[in-house]
Structure 1
Amino acid sequence: MRVSKSDGSQTTDLQRDALLAAGVNPELLYEDMASGKKQDRPQLASCLKALRAGDTLVVWKLDRLGRDLRHLVNVVHDLNTRDVGLRVLAGQGASIDTTTAQGKLVFGIFAALAEFERELISERTKAGLASARARGRKGGRPFKMTPAKVRMAAASMKRPDTSVTELCKELGITRQTLYRYVSPEGKLRAAGQKIIDRKG
């Protein structure tokens, strides 16, 4: 569950009722009071970390889960790789239930759109860098992850008392970057293994 304001002007009552009606255990409800654009959503992070293979994440509407389309697709891709389902109860995504064939098809369309968006951004970025190089300027972001950081991230994520927010601050990376290299259980993803294999 999520609402954007914590001043009491918004409540999660409607979302709570819908989740309970869908059969969600009251003890397994997670609630954030933060804008959907914020990266720091501790209850969402705790929820995602608590999920295990065979579980299903239930949300009221898609916008309660993702900051944007790409973030949403990345979250669901991560759930799929962990054998965790997603079920959306209302709104435009109400037909999504990734535990069913139809739901997987619908989300597959979303994933294709997100991939299309990524390719457009990549093309514009490459064109911009090529233009800058032609003018004698070099561009590109410095690489953030090192073998030491990857190992630290993996070791930290294996501990249940680890604060993902604090870990990201310590490493100087975003939550999205962390999960690109290490799973919520502390297992190395392909990108993390590549860094360690490449640089030792």
Structure 2
Amino acid sequence: MNLGYARVSTDDQATAAQLDALRAVGCERVFEERASGGRWDRPELHRMLDQLRDGDVVIVWKLDRLSRSLKDLLSIMEKIDAAGAGFRSLTEAIDTTTPAGRMMMQMVGVFAEFEREMIRERTRAGLERARKKGRHPGRKPKLSDDQRQEIRDMVRSGKRTEAQAARLFGVHRSTISRVMREASDAAA
């Protein structure tokens, strides 16, 4: 049986092109999910791997849809091989039922991992440049400095508990605990 696997990383991306290509080559069942290719905890991928039988073929539109990590890719390929199944990537024309196809798959996997590492490196460098320019990327703080001080004062004085302060300011209790911990760390 031909089993397809389609994956996109974010909710604003679509799997339509992958699904069309997988159905066009005769995939009888397609497993579809939205998750990063660098993550191992992908339920649909694991469901597909658990259902593999001897003679099945796992088909993906592109190799990086299966995994962006060489280590994970090789682990997935071992599971496919252990089940007696084959693997095909439509874009890279990889077919692991042949020795040349297995070699090609490993080479393409190395390049996919290299590309991922280059993206990480560029992202880290960009974040560092932003920090040097005084920018702080990421989520804006929920509490202003004045609010943080007010919370510290009311909790220390006993006017409010941490839980009451959390409700009053509309934040999670762990945020209040962090405000209090930061204050005690700064005092130490």
TM-score (norm 1): 0.49
Look up the SS of the partner of 2:95 in the other structure: coil
Look up the SS of the partner of 2:88 in the other structure: strand
CA contact (8 A) 1:96 1:107 kept: yes
Aligned-CA RMSD value: 2.2
Q: How does 1:183-194 map to 2 (within 5 A)?
A: none
Describe the shift of the 1:15–1:108 C-alpha distance in structure 2 as closer, same or farther (beyond 3 A): closer
* C-alpha displacement of 1:108: 5.2
- Counterpart position of 2:17: 14
* Mapped partners of 1:73, 1:54: distance in 2: 19
1:23 to 21, 26, 29: 26
CA contact (8 A) 1:73 1:110 kept: no
Letter in 1 for 2:70: L
* C-alpha displacement of 1:100: 2.4
- Counterpart position of 1:75: 76
Look up the SS of the partner of 1:37 in the other structure: coil
CA contact (8 A) 2:49 2:79 kept: no
1:103 to 96, 101, 116: 101
Describe the shift of the 1:4–1:21 C-alpha distance in structure 2 as closer, same or farther (beyond 3 A): same
Identity, % of aligned positions: 41
* C-alpha displacement of 1:107: 3.2
* Mapped partners of 2:65, 2:44: distance in 1: 12
Which blocks of at least 5 consecutive residues in structure 2 are unaligned? 1-5, 112-188
The alignment covers a number of residue pairs equal to 107
Give runs of ≥4 in structure 1 deviating > 6 Å: none
CA contact (8 A) 1:98 1:107 kept: yes
Describe the shift of the 1:100–1:34 C-alpha distance in structure 2 as closer, same or farther (beyond 3 A): same
Higher strand residue share: 2
Look up the SS of the partner of 2:59 in the other structure: strand
* Mapped partners of 1:35, 1:108: distance in 2: 20
The structure that has the greater radius of gyration is 2
TM-score (norm 2): 0.52
